[in-house]
Chain A
Amino acid sequence: MSMKLTTREVAGVTILDLSGKITLGEGGATLRDEVRKLVSEGKKKIVLNLGEVNYIDSSGLGELVSAYTAVKNAGGELKLLNLTSKVRDLLVITKLVTVFDVKDDEASAVSAFA
């Protein structure tokens, strides 16, 4: 299943609900374009909800990193929410879990922004 992405606002935080695959050619570009658009609109508090992402590869991990750096370079923060075991395993293997602020529930993710 290709990636689907919807965007919503909760208490000034932009939450991107992602589902499906984030892989080379499937979802990566969609995520990149959406994050760039949000940054250009001045959105600086962004959460990627990965609860329905059932598959990610090295290109998808790269897209998460690109999203993180794009938001950070604009002076914002990007957090990850609801990692599936498959995604969490790869973030642990690649030590990216030490880079991202990962939350397990939406309320905590939203309130964690300064």
Chain B
Amino acid sequence: MTLESDLANVDSVEAKAEQLARDGGFDEDTSSQIAMVAREAVINAILHGNKKDLRKYVQCSFELNEESLKICIADEGTGLDPDSVPDPLAPENILRSSGRGIFLMRAIMDEVHFHQLDPGTEIEMIKHRVKKELSA
């Protein structure tokens, strides 16, 4: 899925992620959270990665297999150092009005990896399916 850097496109990614999560047997709340962090990743890619430059695109890919659901979102920006993002749980940051997107991705998904591209950043998010869900 290739998207222009327009926030009007985030709903389609969110919907796709939620549908795949449900297909993967995740419960309603978990599916909603997976969809939400996919939306967060696309918003970050558009706003902070591509800086809403319509000449730049966001690449989204989804993979649902027996083990997990994997969502990858890539921008064409100047790169992101995830370690430089302030901890939103720190007392000095708790009342900040922004900066919780990556934290939520890490809290909700089982694995979050950042890959530096040339140019851009890809975020890879994985949620493992549990055995009960596999056998359902």
Contacts and interface: CB of A to CB of B under 8 A. Distances in A.
Nearest to A24: B43
A108 interface: no
Contacts of A25: 7
Contact of A58 (B29, B89, B94, B98): B98
B135 to A, nearest CB: 26
B39 A57 contact: yes
B100 interface: yes
A65 B36 contact: no
B97 interface: yes
B89 A59 contact: no
Given A58-B104, A89-B29, 10 more contacts: A59-B98, A62-B98, A62-B100, A63-B97, A65-B95, A69-B95, A89-B33, A93-B104, A94-B100, A94-B104
Interface string A48-83: 000000010111011101101100000000000000
Interface residues of B, number: 21
A95 B93 CA distance: 11
Interface of A: 23-25, 55, 57-59, 61-63, 65-66, 68-69, 85-86, 89-90, 93-96, 98-99
Contact of B36 (A57, A62, A66, A69): A57
27 contacts: A23-B39, A24-B7, A24-B43, A25-B7, A55-B32, A57-B39, A62-B98, A62-B100, A63-B97, A65-B95, A65-B96, A66-B97, A68-B95, A85-B29, A86-B29, A86-B32, A86-B33, A89-B33, A90-B104, A93-B104, A93-B107, A93-B108, A94-B88, A94-B89, A94-B104, A96-B94, A99-B95
Contact of B103 (A55, A63, A86, A94): A94
Contacts, number: 50
Interface string B27-45: 0010011001001100100
B13 to A, nearest CB: 13
B101 A58 contact: yes
A91 to B, nearest CB: 11
